[in-house]
Chains A and B, each alone.
Chain A
Amino acid sequence: MNEILKIKNIKYRYPSYPGLDFPMLLKGINLSVKEGEFKIILGKPESGKSTLIKIILSLIPRYTHGEISGEVFYNGTNIENYKPYELIQKIGAVFQDPDEQIFTTSCESELAFPLESLGIDRKKIVERIEFALKTMAIGSLNQRNPASLSGGEKKKLLAACLYAVDPGIWLLDEILDELDPEAAEDIVGRLLKDKKTVILFSSKMLSIFKHISAHILILSDGKIIDTKNMDKTEFSNLLLKEGLAIDTSSSWKKSEIISDSGHLITISDLKYKYPLNDKFNLEIDNFHLGKGEIVAIAGRNGSGKSTLGKLISGLKQKEDGNLTIEEGDVSSCGYLFQNPDYQIFLPTVREELSLGLKLSNSVIEETISRFSLPAGDVPPSLMSYGARKRLQGAVYYLLNRNIYILDEADAGLSLMDFEKLISNLYSKNKGIIIISHNIDLCSRYADRVYLLDNGKIVKTFKDNLSGTLNSYFNSGEYIL
């Protein structure tokens, strides 16, 4: 097999700003990818996965300056000789945040856009679009506006774009994060079957990776570690050390201070209808959250999880039914948005933490250290995505709300950071609602899991969550 991609000693450091010195992120990356190979690069958030993708795509240093050295070769040619648009048939990518890539207002047009740029004949464009839609099983979405798609559907659309263009190398950044297990298996299986050259980047060791024949590498401390010759124990220990997996043998210990001592939230016959969407109604017959309890709301994308969270937090107003919040009102809810940038808006970390609060310096410093934040004077807008997520958690930690709602909070956080966030919020003996479609996450942290489908709670799981959830989903009765 020909060597299609060669990365030679890539080193990179982001530009520094007053009060914010970035350390060297990539400290000598060497990688060789042969045609038809399927490589998985695991690395915790902020380890440099997305940066490496942008270097391979020639977007760094074109769009982001900084110190860079080393070389990347595509089929023997240094990519320095290419502009990003000259690489579209050679290297294609799906970014972690699909909204950064999607541009047009219909799925069909999104698929056609790069083909039009390549000057491909209209008849062939039609054929390629049909093929891509069929391959990714999203034919029914062809006329839909991508803005109305779920996160998983957007990633499928971007993967379909790659099928339409068919580049030499596929760089997939966290593509499986928002996909249900069945869709994830379909995509990975298809890529393996079609012998595509793939580098899949992920911040978690997903169970699917154990069952496919792929070369797993770990990006740690700016270097690549090859796991090819590691035995199972060595590999597992490395995953745990890097925060890429959780030690499932040890259960997550919650403090036993409060349990079943009254409900913080009680919901009965709650109804909500989007003003401009007749196709979706939320109808919650029965839901409650006890003091000191953690419940998870799971379900497919678009099943109504976030809508329920927004109703509880007062961001949406119910149409009918009862929603009672004990010991306060909706303002006692802390809703952590999926995108931290909507909740962070002040010039420095210190100002952000102390907004509306009278805090001593020692409390601020203790919080900075507790959430591993860079420093008090650092502008949040210059911090990494993971650090901004931690800052968002720190802000709500200090706000002392009675109820915390974490909407897909694991995205962009390592499993260890997520566990730290849960532990810190839980240490205040509050009620926590986790919104997620990750079964492992739900079963590890929640006392009870509500499964939502099409706006209704279809099942509630309470005992032996790990076992019952897994057997339920494996039975095929419901695909998450």
Chain B
Amino acid sequence: MITSTYIEGNSFLHKTDPRIKIIILVDLLVLLFVPIAIPVMIFIVVLFSMITAISIGFYRLLIPLKMVLPIVIFILLLTPPFYREGNSLFIVQGKIILTSDGLEQTLRLIMRFSGITVLFFMFFATTTINNFILALQWFRLPYRTALIITIALRYIPYMITVYSNIQDAHKLRITEESGKKLIRRFKRVFPSLVSVLIQSIKSIPTLAMALELRGIGLEIKRTQFNIIKFNKRILQLSIAGVILLMTIWIIRFL
């Protein structure tokens, strides 16, 4: 299981200490979940999308955004009917379709969802698994816990890669009939997902074997080849991040 979301590069984000990236990631995720103004949310999402695009390329940023597009469309369609408060913004034949409250909640959910996607993608595309483990260990997580977290997170890109390979294979086996393309594509999803499931289940003992053959399980105290040193700036940034979050939170209630 050698799939990972890491994209080799030499950008500012690649060079940033993984611990700082974890702190920023957590801070921003919290920020997206506290009730801040919509323009601030949009600003955060756009700003970090731009930083990610500059660091790893616009084309690459489109990949995760394309994947969450169906969910964004669902939010867009299903959220407004549940919020009837506020001014009516869009009325069809006397029926209110969209209110100001509905628009705000829809935008909030879309920004929250796409923001989480961009932030996680930014983090995993510019941080190697090794550095992620080291950073988690710096935050006092035991090695095995850090390893399990990274393995769990690697399963997502692994399954995406397997799904894309299987889809390619299906394209070659099943010839599309014009006019029925969409229906056939939809029908093809189920067997593809079954294949992904089988492949993923099969990979579990394989991965466990690989880890045991690399000595995971030994009771010897593990040494480290890659090291990240203690840095005062990390501590300062951690404190600054917490203060910033608390400030935003308090301002909201003033």
Contact = CB atoms under 8 A, between A and B. Distances in A.
A175 B191 CA distance: 34
Centre residue among B6, B169, B175 by max chain A CB count within 10 A: B169
Interface residues of B, number: 53
A315 B130 CA distance: 33
Contacts of B171: 314-315
B70 interface: no
Given A63-B208, A116-B222, A88 B8 contact: no
Interface in A305-363: 313-315, 331, 333-335, 337, 339, 341-346, 355-356
Given A83-B217, A100-B210, A103-B211, A117 B222 contact: yes
Given A88-B215, A343-B169, A119 B225 contact: no
A381 B210 CA distance: 21
Contacts of A120: 223
A432 interface: no
A102 interface: yes
Contacts of B170: 345
Interface string B188-223: 000110110011001001111111111111101111
Contacts of B30: none
A3 interface: no
Given A84-B213, A105-B4, A276 B129 contact: no
B57 A276 contact: yes
Contacts of B215: 85, 88, 113-114, 116-118
B1 interface: yes
Contacts of A199: none
Given A342-B168, A343-B169, A102 B2 contact: yes
B209 A112 contact: no
Given A85-B216, A331-B175, A103 B1 contact: yes
B60 interface: yes
Contacts, number: 152
Q: How large is the interface on A (under 10, 10 to 19, 20 to 34, 35 or more residues)?
A: 35 or more
B210 to A, nearest CB: 5
B129 to A, nearest CB: 5
Given A147-B2, A276-B60, A331-B175, A337 B169 contact: yes
A466 to B, nearest CB: 32
B251 interface: no
B167 to A, nearest CB: 9
Contacts of B192: 345
Contacts of B195: 341-342, 344-345
Contacts of B226: 109, 112
9 contacts: A88-B214, A93-B213, A114-B213, A118-B220, A119-B218, A147-B2, A314-B171, A345-B166, A381-B198
> Across chains A and B, which 4 residue pairs bring their CB atoms closest together, nearest first?
A117-B215, A112-B225, A345-B195, A85-B217
Interface of B: 1-4, 6, 8, 57, 59-60, 128-130, 162, 165-166, 168-176, 191-192, 194-195, 198-199, 202, 205-218, 220-227
